[in-house]
Amino acid sequence: MMRYKPMLPTLSSRLPEGEDWYYEIKYDGFRSLLHIDQTGVDFYSRNLKSLDANFPEIINEAERIRENAKDSLPLLLDGELCILESDYKASFSAIQQRGRLKSIAKILQQQAKIPATLLIFDLVIHNGKSLVDDPYIRRKKQLEEWMDRHRFPQVCRESANRIQWIPFTSDGHSLFQQVKNHHGEGVVAKRDRSLWLQGKRTKDWLKVKSLFRGFFIIVGFDEKNGYAHVAVRDGTELLPTGVVSHGLEGKEREALIQIVKNNQIKKTGSLIEIAPRICVELAFLEIHEHQLRQPRFIRFRLDIHWEDCTWRALQKQMGN
């Protein structure tokens, strides 16, 4: 079977508006394509690597499609492979752990315990006909009709179906607020006339992430890679929470380097440790095992005392 590289969205800081835009929930997982024809099933990642062995629950569901929906084949479905925490949020760390498993016994154990779900959002080939030149809204409606006809549900964590589909709406702001309320990753906006452009990153699809904000203490700087190390206070100790480089540009980076020079207490290799003095505000997607995911520098917060940058305050800012 020929493998297709998926179309990719462009990151945006805000939702686009207008009658020509539709919106879907963005789930944090592995971008995946599922190709089914009369000869078999091919399930693979955006990098064209096979996912068959690690996710047998998806293959089993796909085999049922191959047997029961022969009039739809060949079929190519585009989606996100996830382990759902809720109808609005998926766990990236959980799907990463599944993807790293090598033992068949452990894969089957995890399949039974925490099954993955393939969330379909686009129909690329149906009954052997390519739909890549059809506008998004036509492909999406055809996908909805196909899913309903074959009794695949919209995203539902409690469903036993391992293949589900992601609905769309014209009310992006309401959807984005629902995602934020459930601590989901964000929303993808898609222009109604957008084609499915293989392997292309396009501004006709925009991803807007739902980010948290918090206050952190700068505790170090790596001269080699330019990453600032940050932490929060947990009791009497400093709790490392990760590194940040994105957003640190121009005058802010120059100011950071000066702060490092003025507060250096130790140097190990390229890592300079500094006394806890300066606080920064960061945006981030989530915290996993006390580490920030996708942090971005917002600004220095010289109005905040470093001792007030605590783990408890951070949890409160996140609504926990």
Catalytic (active site) residue 26: yes
Let me know: does 134 contact 125? Beta carbons within 8 Å: no
CB count within 10 Å of CB 289 equals: 5
Q: Please enumerate in sequence order all residues whose Cβ is within 8 A of that of 36, keeping only pairs 6 or more positions apart, or say none.
A: 42, 62, 65, 66, 73, 74, 75, 76, 77
3-state SS class at 171: coil
CB atoms within 10 A of CB 105: 8
The 10 Å Cβ neighbour count of residue 99 is 16
Give 62's contacts (C-beta < 8 A, 6+ positions apart): 34, 36, 41, 43, 163
- Catalytic one among 26, 89, 140, 190? 26
- DSSP class of 308: G
The CA distance from 311 to 320, in Å, is: 11
52 neighbors 61 (Cβ within 8 angstroms): no
Return left, alpha or beta for 91; rule: phi > 0 is left, psi -120 to 50 is alpha, else beta. beta
User: What are the residues whose beta carbons fall under 8 Å from the beta carbon of 102, sequence distance 6 or more?
Assistant: none
Strand-pair category, 163-165 with 117-126: parallel
Collapsing DSSP to helix, strand or coil, 16 comes out as coil
Active centre residues (catalytic): 26
